Structure 1
Amino acid sequence: MFQKERTSLLLGLCSAFITTAAMAQEPTTWHIQQGTILTRWAEQVNPTKVLPEYPRPQMVRPQWQNLNGLWQYVITDKTSGLPESYAGNILVPYPIESALSGVKKPIKANELLWYKHNFEKPALKTDERLLLHFGAVDFEATVYLNGKELGTHRGGYQHFTLDATNALQSGKNELVVKVWDPTDLGPNPHGKQVLSPQGIMYTPSSGIWQTVWMETVPSTFIESIRITPDIDKQQAIAHIAVKDSKSSDLSGYTVVLTTKNGSKMVSTVKLPAGKPALLSIANPHLWSPDDPFLYDLEVKLVKNGKVADEVKSYFGMRKIAIQKDEKGRDRIFLNNQYTFNLGTLDQGFWPDGLYTAPTDAALKFDIEAAKAMGFNTIRKHIKIEPDRWYYHADKIGMLVWQDMVNPGNDTQDGHAEFEKESAENIAQLYNHPCITTWVLFNEKWGQYDQERLTRWIKQTDPSRIVNGHSGEMLYVNDLLRSPSPNAWIGSDIADVHSYPFPRNAPAMPGKARVLGEFGGIGVPIEGHLWNDLQAGWGYDGVVTPPIMQKQYTQMVDSLKVLEQEGLSASIYTQPFDVESEQNGLMTYDRAIIKLPAAIIRNIHARVWPVTKNYLASTKAFSAAVADTINKDYAARLQEYKSGKNDSAFLRSLTLLALQNKDAVNAARFSAEYINKLKNPFQENNLIFIERVTTKRTDPGFSILEKSVSIAGMANSPRSITAKLETIIFDDEVKSLLTEKPDWNKVEAVIHQHQPLEGEMIRGLCVIRYLNAASRDQQNATQNLVEAATRYDDRYHAGAYNDWAWTLFEKSNKKEELEKAVEWSQKAISKETDQFRVASTMDTHANLLYKLGNKQEALQWQEKAVAASPGDTEIKDNFEKMKRGEPTWPNAN
């Protein structure tokens, strides 16, 4: 590798070059959107110099321009063409949903996100080309330059490059990027991003989320480098791809590769372009977490004695393999020595930047933090990071298990996209010595063709270990949730997940036994939560830091026993809290470490020694240490009585009152807090107000109601309208729902509260009469029909089925039963769950039978029986129909 001083100088010169031409012409209006916690690095984000570091340390050229900074954006319908105007400014490359973007808006699956940016044409010599590089755009990006389409790329995690030369014009050039990102509603691998809650998932990161930059190259240039070390043979094999923009003829071109150890030359090789190069490395200085030594590599493309192109790179000499220890057990070996992979599950999310770290120092910090806590391994969980993350891991010395990003859906398109992107991931990250393990699948998320794909990865990259399925067997509280008859087929590893306490994977010939995930001790830290309204979460509840230390010590003691029995690796969940999860060793904002790093490091040393270079490589690590979670509620009340009433204190005190079921004080404190708010319409304030508002007379009700009426307001989620309508129902409508209700009065109440649509209010009316019908109250079935028929087709299948079945059981009126038949038909047409469709057909058949349509009823009931083999109730109804017996209760 470049020595430290030379690396800093080279990348510094590159950074200095970029800040001239690219950014000055864009507008400068930008501010961080509020409503979430921020990291310490957020205040260092400068819109005129955003992530200025050279983005591709594996292939460095001096002639480049950074295009990060303020761009313009607009969100349109998916069918829209090129926009004529834009909505405002966005800070690239932070995702539009993030606070650092300056926008913080969600993108729907049926919408497009457009970007526009102007730059001055750089000076180009004859036969030079201008390449436009995108670090990553999620998910589908179409790029236009001066109105000309340059190309489209699919894949939210991979680099892509377009040749912009032929579309350039003198002076100002207009760059437009169109993005479509369906997140979890399309075929695209999306990791833990979701548009709608599905278990423990996180906020999406749509659009541009890695550096955008331009690079000047000759018409024939070095396109890529692929280096494979072989420490046993004391050599490395280099494949250098050369591209000619005009032809495929590379005759006359020579590639010269020079390996250096600092200023000392190690070897030089010269060969025709297109040929693999054998780099001889006598007595190689090996790369490891203890000693992350890197060799420098200079690559020159030469023709007729002149250097046409030149790049600088680096590589590490290391070997990873499954080998047998002295007892004949299959273990993970690094450089032919058994090395326990003591790791943590890093998901790469940030509270202010989501997928994008605020600064390069922040990106580096996460690896330094893991090192400071005594880990030697990071499992990068279903996310591909920017190149610089792996560069820092290479330099600091951290083993990396790299997950593939789980398939988007179980379709042919989804499978094809997953395989294409996985191949690109391997090619993109191939040269980083830190990556020792590829992880194909995680806990059966989108799993298919496991044997074929595992063997394909192994064939594609035989120099690394392949973990074909992490957590294919998943244990929670000692219960096996995910049995599998043919786990880890084709894999180098047998991998189980066990929460919260560790367990070993079964011993299998030729496979290392690893614990791919465990732990998850929840410790919420007040003032450092993504959402202080959510209860703390961990796999085994939440505890205080002292209890955490006791539990974590017990877990690591168990790891030591398992390691002696043959365990080769463990991955603790997780280094940092993420959104709703408070099971990190540090808070989401990286401000608080829940146990002192030295204590965590010493606990880990029971299993595997701390890396020899941890002090030198973690000098920049710092974090305050948590002492306790919250003060005692009684002590907080005393502080309040003594006059403490600042805004943050009142918010915290309100939540403590709610936790202690102190409704009277919760109402008092929340009212004081709300009255102090300068901007109650910020998202985090609205969510808080929604939580504490329970009746119309509460001070938050009018704020919530006003938030709905503000045109275009992004901070009025559907939950707020539901809360408002529930309160209106309880306070104003419920009393109108007599045995003979006046529906005009109900509609009048709804009309008084426009722009609320009243959908929830009417739905609650239906539920009230549905319950009344179940209790055989007078006029209840008639009122149920009247309430329910006020709706169009907005309800889901289950609701229509419930209404229809209730009338089947409770009503003998022909007109009501005919209405129920309409509902059961809707239930059948809307139901998508194969396990519930039989129930809807059973309801429909029973209604037809009760109305006297026996033949049609039998046809539907036969379908219901076929759709639900083993359901005795449906089968009994079928037999009764065939015998002509009633199937409804109280028939006599």
Structure 2
Amino acid sequence: MKLRNLLFLAFAVSPVFLSAQQWQPKKAILMSKFAKDVKPESVLPEYPRPQLVREKWLNLNGVWQFQPATSKIESLPTGNLARTILVPFAVESALSGVMEHHESIWYRRKFNVPTNWKGQDILLHFGAVDYEAEVFVNGKSLGIHTGGYDPFSYNISTAIKGAGEQDIAVRVYDPTDKGGFPRGKQTLNPQGIMYTSVTGIWQTVWLEPVPKTNISNIKIVPDIDKSVVKLIVSTAGNSAADVEIKVKDGTKLVQTKIGKSNTEIIVPVSNAKLWSPDSPFLYDLTITLKKGAQNLDAVSSYFGMRKISIAEEGGFKKMFLNNKFLFQIGPLDQGFWPDGGYTAPTDEALKYDLEMTKKFGFNMVRKHIKVEPYRWYYWADKLGLMVWQDMPSPNSYTEHVPPINKPAFKSELTRVIETHWNSPSIISWVIFNEGQAQHNTAEYVDQVRNLDPTRLINQGSGWEHFGVGDVLDIHSYPPPAVPTSKVQTLACGEYGGIGYIIPGHTWKTGPTYIMIDNEKDYTKLYDDFATDLAIFKTNKGLSAAVYTEITDVEVELNGLITYDREVIKGAVEKIRASNEKSIKTNIFIKDVLPSSQTEAKTWKYTFDQPATEWMNSKFNDAAWKSGQAGFGTKATPGANVKTVWNTDNIWMRREFSLGDLKGINREDLVLYIHHDEDAEVYINGIKAATIPNYTSNYSMVKMSKEAQNALIANGKNVIAIHCTQKQGGQYIDAGIAVVEKK
């Protein structure tokens, strides 16, 4: 696609912008390193829809008129509005020049239709407006669109008056967390893991001319098993038009196929070059709508030949890419900017986060309860990153929870899938996150399966699971963990959250899962987690994991990069090596002392403070109670409670015998433990580990050398644990294993 030429054409026909002097950016707490590149006369000038490209178009980004509205039903104001705003940056953002929140607002601008568009229909496109938008052209209402994440358009031909200046106005209403609509991480009360709201136009606005009979949409479905790509070319106007499809590999013509519009056209692609993270090859498409020898309309596009599926390997259901297992490792990507809100300052900024994701050695990214502009997926397609696409959630962690607007959720879910199913990088739809407004899960899984049977379906990342969809996905902080299932593929949809403050580059400091104060310990802990993933992949069937997260976001300081994108916290080559370990290295484990994860084991325990020698092997625990592990409360994430522990402390002991340990390197012995919260572990009275914070499932913890050496071969041993409850759930269970790399 010749996007550079399209750029030139777009601004060659652009109208005169409002004076750049009428716009000045506000100063946010942090500004990204890309903020300086924002120019009001050329804002996000790239063609916004790379998989359905036309040569002629008119970019309407830039300085618009703006003013707050008294309500969502206020009549269209007459004359100019009181202030200005830079579109497409949300009203709350610094780059908008407003940096205020208003529930109801007005936009307005003038434009001229290029004279060489005469005789064609004119489409007005909005990439996304949050949340409800009523659009007027020359005072005529064209309709009301609801939904903050999906593109929409209007044919404005009948509203255009003559050949002179035309008027666009947009009224926006956005209740944010006062309404039960999909809104992701937005809130009117930013704190913790919830961030500044995003109101109004936040993606590119543009015009394009189309013939009366035109290509309105395309659907692309690759099939690598049959060496074909299937297309449906939808049209507006004459539904009986012919379609000519050309598939190209660079300048080389691969295939030409003629078919009918609005019906499936199967195009052979022999000896296909497959799309993958290691080789993200994309075929170019030219689609022409014809009536006899006459060309009615033409668009360019692209596609990738790739397949995502579930297959069995080693007794587990695993994620296969192109019929081979590939462990997926990627960061959580929330898509917020300190200066632009939901909107990256420039296309280079949009690309930057994905480029860094790739440089860190990730092969996947989870787009977290947000939907990005099309160009974000274009760069994921080009760079070679698999994408888990979350559905934005309603009622995300707010104090006052309004009723869920179920029709709005269902409609937005449908639109998200239908407007993004052509992107080869998207390999999974994630319907819910951590139980946020979760409802009718099985119904939505069926809905998504009917819409798109070619991708994986994740019923819910973390928390609530109902045995539906393809994926069983748990969250575990800080270390990763793995769930258990023989019928679903296994994922750790969030882990990590390693906090690391870089002075001068923070929005605001706040608590996180674990805080590190130097780069050496930071990268070491990251690598320890990568070792866990390699173990879980090799032994427990884990198919994928998502690290929290690629950048800091407001109060969250657990990004690999600071929120302003100025500082990379850990050496890229070290993070990359760790990620490559999780993908390529197999680390086998063998139980030396099995935990109770799969079969309950009996321990002696007490909730009362014992004598100081309680951890020693000769301590008399006859007065202690006996109970099966795990110990805790049932509400605790990942807990398999057999014995209730609901006090502040628990002390546990378990006697066990070992064989001769022949062939085992004691340095390879580790604890396999699920703790919530702080735990101290002893072997025969010798401290094996002090483990702070909590996990949401079982993870590997290295034992001290002294404890490894304290184990008695061909004899009796005692493992003793003290676990402390601080807040929330509580749980404790542990075992010992030996690890071996191959």
Judge same fold: TM > 0.5, yes or no.
yes
| More divergent stretch after superposition (17-26 vs 356-365) | 17-26
Cα distance between partner residues in 1 of 2:185 and 2:575:
28
Within the alignment, does 1:220 sit opposite 2:213 as a pair? yes
Q: Which residue of 2 aligns with 1:440?
A: 431
In the alignment, which of 375, 385, 395 is matched to residue 388 of structure 1? 375
Q: Aligned ranges for residues 785-824 of structure 1 at < 5 Å?
A: none
Within the alignment, does 1:427 sit opposite 2:418 as a pair? yes
Shift of 1:286: 0.3
In the alignment, which of 129, 153, 164 is matched to residue 137 of structure 1? 129
Q: Which residue of 2 aligns with 1:720?
A: none
In the alignment, which of 520, 525, 528 is matched to residue 497 of structure 2? 520
Shift of 1:413: 6.7
Shift of 1:39: 1.4
Shift of 1:35: 3.4
Shift of 1:20: 3.3
Q: Which residue of 2 aligns with 1:643?
A: none
The gaps in structure 1 that reach 5 residues or longer are: 1-6, 473-483, 611-892
Which amino acid counterpart does residue 512 of structure 1 have in structure 2? Answer: T
Shift of 1:549: 1.8
Q: Secondary structure at the match of 1:274?
A: coil
Q: Which residue of 1 aligns with 2:557?
A: 582
Cα distance between partner residues in 2 of 1:154 and 1:295:
34
CA deviations 1:647-679 (Å, max 9, x no partner) are: xxxxxxxxxxxxxxxxxxxxxxxxxxxxxxxxx
Q: Which residue of 1 aligns with 2:256?
A: 268
**8 Å contact from structure 1 (residues 537, 583) kept in 2:** no
Q: Aligned ranges for residues 526-675 of structure 1 at < 5 Å?
A: 526-531=503-508, 535-565=509-539, 566-609=541-584
Q: Which residue of 1 aligns with 2:672?
A: none
Which amino acid counterpart does residue 414 of structure 1 have in structure 2? Answer: N
**8 Å contact from structure 1 (residues 254, 270) kept in 2:** yes
Shift of 1:21: 4.0
Which amino acid counterpart does residue 546 of structure 1 have in structure 2? Answer: K
Shift of 1:508: 2.9
**8 Å contact from structure 2 (residues 395, 436) kept in 1:** no
Aligned-residue sequence identity (percent) comes to: 43
Q: Which residue of 1 aligns with 2:470?
A: 492
Q: Secondary structure at the match of 1:606?
A: helix
Cα distance between partner residues in 1 of 2:454 and 2:18:
46
Within the alignment, does 1:103 sit opposite 2:98 as a pair? yes
**8 Å contact from structure 1 (residues 301, 307) kept in 2:** yes
Q: Which residue of 2 aligns with 1:64?
A: 57
How has the CA–CA distance of structure 1 residues 114 and 126 changed in structure 2, closer, same or farther, with 3 Å as cutoff? Answer: closer
Shift of 1:412: 7.6
Q: Aligned ranges for residues 689-768 of structure 1 at < 5 Å?
A: none
CA deviations 1:462-489 (Å, max 9, x no partner) are: 10000111002xxxxxxxxxxx5xx242
Cα distance between partner residues in 2 of 1:258 and 1:179:
41
Q: Aligned ranges for residues 295-314 of structure 1 at < 5 Å?
A: 295-314=283-302
Q: Secondary structure at the match of 1:429?
A: coil
Cα distance between partner residues in 1 of 2:576 and 2:15:
44
Which structure is higher in helix share?
Answer: 1
Q: Which residue of 1 aligns with 2:272?
A: 284
Which amino acid counterpart does residue 284 of structure 1 have in structure 2? Answer: A
Shift of 1:502: 1.1
Structure number with the bigger relative contact order (C-alpha 8 A, sep ≥ 6) is 2
Which amino acid counterpart does residue 572 of structure 1 have in structure 2? Answer: Y
| More divergent stretch after superposition (195-204 vs 386-395) | 195-204
Q: Aligned ranges for residues 93-172 of structure 1 at < 5 Å?
A: 93-108=88-103, 112-123=104-115, 127-169=119-161, 170-172=163-165
Q: Which residue of 1 aligns with 2:667?
A: none
**8 Å contact from structure 1 (residues 221, 243) kept in 2:** yes
Shift of 1:537: 2.8
**8 Å contact from structure 2 (residues 202, 343) kept in 1:** yes
Cα distance between partner residues in 2 of 1:136 and 1:392:
19
Cα distance between partner residues in 2 of 1:128 and 1:61:
14
Which amino acid counterpart does residue 506 of structure 2 have in structure 1? Answer: L
Which amino acid counterpart does residue 518 of structure 2 have in structure 1? Answer: T
Q: Aligned ranges for residues 863-874 of structure 1 at < 5 Å?
A: none
**8 Å contact from structure 1 (residues 342, 375) kept in 2:** yes
Q: Which residue of 1 aligns with 2:598?
A: none
Within the alignment, does 1:13 sit opposite 2:5 as a pair? yes
Cα distance between partner residues in 1 of 2:55 and 2:493:
41
In the alignment, which of 449, 472, 483 is matched to residue 505 of structure 1? 483
How has the CA–CA distance of structure 1 residues 197 and 126 changed in structure 2, closer, same or farther, with 3 Å as cutoff? Answer: closer
Cα distance between partner residues in 2 of 1:215 and 1:204:
30
In the alignment, which of 162, 169, 175 is matched to residue 168 of structure 2? 175
Q: Secondary structure at the match of 2:276?
A: coil
**8 Å contact from structure 2 (residues 359, 572) kept in 1:** yes
**8 Å contact from structure 2 (residues 394, 404) kept in 1:** no
**8 Å contact from structure 2 (residues 315, 486) kept in 1:** no
Normalising by structure 1, report the TM-score: 0.63
In the alignment, which of 246, 250, 262 is matched to residue 239 of structure 2? 250
CA deviations 1:368-406 (Å, max 9, x no partner) are: 000000100000000000000000000000000000111
**8 Å contact from structure 1 (residues 536, 542) kept in 2:** no
Cα distance between partner residues in 2 of 1:598 and 1:207:
40
How has the CA–CA distance of structure 1 residues 200 and 257 changed in structure 2, closer, same or farther, with 3 Å as cutoff? Answer: same
How has the CA–CA distance of structure 1 residues 236 and 559 changed in structure 2, closer, same or farther, with 3 Å as cutoff? Answer: same
How has the CA–CA distance of structure 1 residues 23 and 203 changed in structure 2, closer, same or farther, with 3 Å as cutoff? Answer: farther
Q: Secondary structure at the match of 1:395?
A: helix
**8 Å contact from structure 1 (residues 488, 494) kept in 2:** no
Cα distance between partner residues in 2 of 1:598 and 1:347:
23
Q: Secondary structure at the match of 2:476?
A: strand
Larger CA Rg, structure 1 vs 2: 1
What is the count of residue pairs matched by the alignment? Answer: 576
Which structure is higher in strand share?
Answer: 2
**8 Å contact from structure 1 (residues 524, 536) kept in 2:** no
Q: Secondary structure at the match of 2:352?
A: helix
CA deviations 1:547-582 (Å, max 9, x no partner) are: 212221211111111111211101000010000010
The gaps in structure 2 that reach 5 residues or longer are: 586-742
Shift of 1:262: 1.3
Q: Aligned ranges for residues 165-204 of structure 1 at < 5 Å?
A: 165-169=157-161, 170-197=163-190, 199-204=192-197
Which amino acid counterpart does residue 373 of structure 1 have in structure 2? Answer: F
Q: Secondary structure at the match of 1:418?
A: helix
Shift of 1:125: 5.3
**8 Å contact from structure 2 (residues 247, 285) kept in 1:** yes
Shift of 1:452: 1.2
In the alignment, which of 311, 314, 338 is matched to residue 323 of structure 1? 311
CA deviations 1:408-450 (Å, max 9, x no partner) are: 5988871100110100000110000000000000000000011
Cα distance between partner residues in 2 of 1:128 and 1:25:
24
How has the CA–CA distance of structure 1 residues 125 and 542 changed in structure 2, closer, same or farther, with 3 Å as cutoff? Answer: closer
Cα distance between partner residues in 2 of 1:318 and 1:412:
40
**8 Å contact from structure 2 (residues 15, 112) kept in 1:** no
**8 Å contact from structure 2 (residues 76, 139) kept in 1:** no
**8 Å contact from structure 1 (residues 190, 407) kept in 2:** yes
Shift of 1:103: 1.0
**8 Å contact from structure 1 (residues 450, 489) kept in 2:** no
Cα distance between partner residues in 2 of 1:66 and 1:528:
34
Within the alignment, does 1:82 sit opposite 2:76 as a pair? yes
CA deviations 1:595-635 (Å, max 9, x no partner) are: 1101110111211149xxxxxxxxxxxxxxxxxxxxxxxxx
Q: Secondary structure at the match of 2:270?
A: coil
RMSD: 1.6
Which amino acid counterpart does residue 81 of structure 1 have in structure 2? Answer: S
Q: Secondary structure at the match of 1:442?
A: coil
Shift of 1:23: 4.4
**8 Å contact from structure 2 (residues 85, 98) kept in 1:** yes
Q: Secondary structure at the match of 2:499?
A: coil
